A and B are shown apart, each in its own frame.
Chain A
């Protein structure tokens, strides 16, 4: 009887994770793509110097964006299976991809009027590790220096 209850809970958790996780991921990707389109005019580069012809710079400022994201139950189970067979853990790939793009978008949203982001760095750290949930959740931090030019508006 107890085994049956355990199995029931497990199945409920798995299906919850699958359904809600799938919906959330789809919605998130949609919003990421929409917002990325808006920021096409604001390039972010990982080099130390601005790219291209640059007018006089009015202001340079540190900007950052971060997100903590967690994997759902279903994906964690998939990853567990992968641990056994080896190979690409695609479920975690999409999770990290989403988180990185989201962090970068938040960084760009935090500095309206900037014309270029230089020296972009992206850092990943896993929080709430140890215990039974192994990878649990990850934090992605994106930071860089936003440059504001002396002339023109960002939408030009």
Chain B
């Protein structure tokens, strides 16, 4: 599966278009990470727990999007966009969407 955020897959030609595919996930941080984050708010610096959490959820969203594209019979996704929004105080939604296409 080729995934790009450009309008085409460089080095390949698009032969069919299958429409929009999307994957999303909502994750909440757990208490332990939150306490560490509270400490980090005093000292400053990277919140590794959150970086990991958001990275994992983004990977999951991409996996879901890929599964959907596969179901449509596509072998590539172009023009992928990410968006993050915090729905509740402790939870974030990661949304990934793109266009499923067939390339050769």
Contacts and interface: CB of A to CB of B under 8 A. Distances in A.
Contacts of B7: 48
B11 A68 contact: no
Most A CB within 10 A of own CB, among B4, B37, B80:
B4
Contacts of A113: none
Contacts, number: 128
A29 to B, nearest CB: 13
B45 interface: yes
The B interface, classified by DSSP as helix, strand, loop or mixed, is mixed
B44 A20 contact: yes
A19 to B, nearest CB: 9
Given A59-B11, A125-B86, A128-B37, A72 B6 contact: no
A127 B44 CA distance: 15
A16 B82 CA distance: 36
Interface in B69-85: 80, 82-85
Nearest to A95: B44
B20 to A, nearest CB: 16
A47 B80 CA distance: 15
